[in-house]
Structure 1
Amino acid sequence: MKKILILLCICSLSFCLNAQKVKTSQDSIKVFYDKLLVMLKSDYLLRKDVDWKAVGDETNQNLTKYSNFKSSLKETEVLFGKIGATHCKVFYQNKAYGTTVKASTENLSVQWKEKFATKPGFEVKALNGNIGYILMPNVTFLDFSPENVHKIAQSMYDQIADFKAKNKTEGWILDLRFNTGGNSSAMLLALYDLLGDNDIWGTVDRNKKQNSKVKLEKGNYLSNSKKSSYINPKGELLDKAKVAVITGLLTASSGEVTALAFKGRPNTILIGEPTFGMTTSNVDIGLPFDTMLLLSVAYDSDRYGNYYEKVLPDIAVSKQDNFNDLLADKNIQEAIGFISKK
């Protein structure tokens, strides 16, 4: 009889603990999604187009099927999809949650696909003897602290500065064809010498009215005059040098911001294909349980406040990539022609 009672007690205790665990998980899920919905309602770019009561009711109903907090983050894909937040993400334990934007590969060249599969990294080298070539792919990381942005940007900047010091260049080619996004401030700080001490881009609200400006000044990255990170510059600026910027169909997000930063720059031309069209500006917001929300709050603009759904090239070149022999690449040929023209 004692054994039966002990067994019953153990079973009862196990049941209570499991029930408590479910209750705790549901509490965590509620705390997180309540906060997430508050942030979306208050700051999301297209918040005025959303029936928040209907979205909230449906989300809360869907959340009842999840047994733990981590699995519940899959619901962000449904939530973000309903409100058109295709550029928003939630990060938890180094994993991204949200909608997946599927890009068509039909119009991508075989050469592009093959090169992309190798995961190309940042590169600086000479082309045609006297032209500096910068390959700026996506630059992605989750530590947005000023110190980490500086560390990553400085490393790329130093490669450009060292090349500048050792080579007499007639002009520069900035290749953004593999730049699918990431951290724009690190990319733009790395390109400080080419951009100089100028306004470089900004944002506009849903009515396309400018609401922020980003400037580079003495190696500092200033957003609405507030310093967010920096690099330590070396040598003279190259802000009057000829620059050809090459874009592709999957130049997206921060890659598009990088292209926009060169709109309005003197002695500059854009070559290639229209960009992907993910030109909304995101901010990072801390949420409960060490999660982070990347939230679209504005549209990207050039230095003059002009919004572009996609960044269009001045010279169109399509599916004529050659990454095995860059001098046979039609985009590069057009760039060299622009730089060489007196």
Structure 2
Amino acid sequence: MTKFKSSAPLKILLLCLISVVSCHQEKGPTVTSATAQSYLDEVVGLMKANSINRKTIDWTVFKAKVDAQAQGAQTIADTYPAIQLGLTLLGDNHSMYYPTTGTVIYGTKTVACTDANIVTGTIYKGVGYVKVSSFDGGGSDASKFAQSIQGAIKAADNDSLKGWIVDLRGNLGGNMWPMIAGVGPLLGEGICGYFLDPDGNASAWSYQKGSALLNQAELTKVESAYTIRKANSKVAVLTDQATASSGEAVAIAFKGRPNTRSFGKATCGLSTANVTNRLSDGALLNLTQSTMANRSKQAYGSSIPVDEVIAAEKVVAEATSWLLQ
């Protein structure tokens, strides 16, 4: 009987083969599951139908890149890196994805909505000062927020005022409608801006009798609307690089208003509008779908320049000097 003897080289070969098989198994499946692929198709389908850049994106290439990133995904959570890539490829810097669990997912951005510490400075007694901060709420909270801004305007208003400062520095956005309703007494009645979609359709935003409206739909209303004592008073609008999104919408609303000038720094560059889309699993896909434009329909979509570029420590003084001229 011939006996089989195990040699050292044979043992090494077997170990190497086992190692290769083990490594291959650790990499996981290479075929994306039907569940994951269907979900990814849903997300990309919404992007293709609604993105502000839908007419300029090569969607065949887009889909191929996203699918490649998701290769082997088995669950919806496994598709998150591919969704993040899709958000980056949209190129709008503003779209985002809210998973059912976990943190918000953004694409890689080419803008940074940050700035140095805000220096308020001394407010001259002949100038009304109104701060408009970020706000994300809705419903009755939105009405209360708008009312608080109008309340600040009412408290500061008097017959001796030379003008107003509307401070938008550090306003990173949120819900623009209570902001518009809040500053309405200074904006004045009527259309103050538009959303323009890629097909050229325009939707107007306006302030009327205490309400912020999109076309004719009332989105936020204060309980008690205030009217300033001097109509068409001078208004100085302050912005910086941390003024973004809905904060930029307020800045745009003042563009074209008589007796108005802006001071500080250009805004961040997210002057576009997002629309929320609910996905089959309950997650939310906020897609950038239109560009903000002023009351003359001049489109922005990026950073909004100021009339006077002023350093942070001097901006209030310079704005005040103009108001008192």
Settle same-fold status: TM greater than 0.5: yes
Mapped to 2, the partners of 1:150 and 1:104 lie a distance apart of 30
1:235-246 residue pairs with structure 2 within 5 A? 235-237=226-228, 239-246=231-238
Tell me by how many angstroms 1:31 deviates. Answer: 4.2
Q: Is the 8 A contact 2:168 2:239 kept in 1?
A: yes
**How has the CA–CA distance of structure 1 residues 234 and 221 changed in structure 2, closer, same or farther, with 3 Å as cutoff?**
closer
Residue 250 of structure 2 is aligned to residue 258 of structure 1: yes
Which residue does the alignment assign to 1:150?
A: 143
SS state at 2:146 partner: helix
Q: What displacement does 1:103 show?
A: 4.5
Query: Could you say if the C-alpha distance between residues 246 and 94 of structure 1 is closer, same or farther in structure 2, counting changes exceeding 3 Å?
Result: farther
The 1:26/1:47 distance shift into structure 2, 3 A limit, reads same
Q: Name the CA shift for 1:54/1:170 in 2 (closer, same or farther; >3 Å).
A: same
Return the alpha-carbon distance in structure 1 between the equivalents of residues 41 and 264 of structure 2.
44
| Gapped regions of structure 2 (runs ≥ 5) | 1-28
Equivalent position of 1:95 in the other structure: 103
| Residues 1:251 and 1:68: Cα distance change in structure 2 (over 3 Å) | same
Instruction: Measure, in 2, the Cα distance between the counterparts of 1:235 and 1:36.
Output: 44
What residue number does 1:62 align with? 69
**Equivalent-residue separation in structure 1 for 2:181 and 2:108 (angstroms):** 29
Partner of 1:274: helix, strand, or coil?
A: coil
Following superposition, the deviation at residue 43 of structure 1 comes to 1.3
Verify the 8 A CA contact 2:143 2:220 in the aligned structure 1.
yes
Q: Deviations over 1:79-103 (max 9, x none)?
A: 1212313210112347321214254
The 8 Å contact of residues 130 and 149 in structure 2, kept in 1 or not, is answered as no
Per-residue CA distance 1:163-195 (angstroms, 9 max, x = gap): 447x95332111222122222112111212111
| 1:315 aligned residue | 308
2:321 maps to 337
Residue 259 of structure 1: how far off its partner (Å): 0.6
Counterparts of 1:284-303 in structure 2, within 5 Å, are 284-303=276-295
CA contact (8 A) 2:198 2:290 kept: yes
The aligned counterpart of 1:4 is none
Q: State the Cα RMSD in Å.
A: 3.0
- Aligned to 1:127, the other structure's residue is in SS state coil
Structure 1 length as normaliser, TM-score? 0.75
Most deviating of 129-138 and 41-50: 129-138
The one-letter code of the counterpart of 1:95 is: T
- Return the match for 1:34 from 41, 48, 55: 41
How far apart are 1:311 and its partner, in Å?
A: 1.8
Counterpart residue identity of residue 303, structure 2: K
Larger Rg: 2
Instruction: Give the CA deviation at 1:224.
Output: 1.6
Q: Which letter does structure 2 place at the counterpart of 1:81?
A: T
Say if 1:74 and 1:97, in contact at 8 Å, map to a contact too: no
Q: Give CA deviations for 1:191-210 in whole Å, capped at 9, x if unaligned.
A: 12111211011022337x45
Deviation of 1:38 (Å): 1.7
Measured in 1, the distance between the counterparts of 2:152 and 2:202 equals: 34
Number of equivalences:
292
Q: Please give the secondary structure, in 2, of the residue aligned with 1:55.
A: helix
Instruction: Compute the displacement of 1:56 (Å).
Output: 2.0
**Match status 1:128 vs 2:124:** yes
- Following superposition of structure 1 onto structure 2, how do residues 2-81 of structure 1 map, counting pairs within 5 Å? 26=33, 28-66=35-73, 68-81=75-88
Q: What displacement does 1:340 show? A: 0.9
1:223 maps onto 2:189 in alignment:
no
Structure 1 residue 115 displacement after superposition: 4.6
**Inter-partner Cα distance in structure 2 for 1:34 and 1:137:** 38
Match of 2:202 in 1: 211
In the TM superposition, what is the alpha-carbon distance from 1:306 to its structure 2 partner?
Answer: 0.7
Q: Secondary structure at the match of 2:223?
A: coil
| Pick aligned residue for 1:249 from 241, 245, 262 | 241
1:113 is matched with: 116
2:183 is aligned to 191
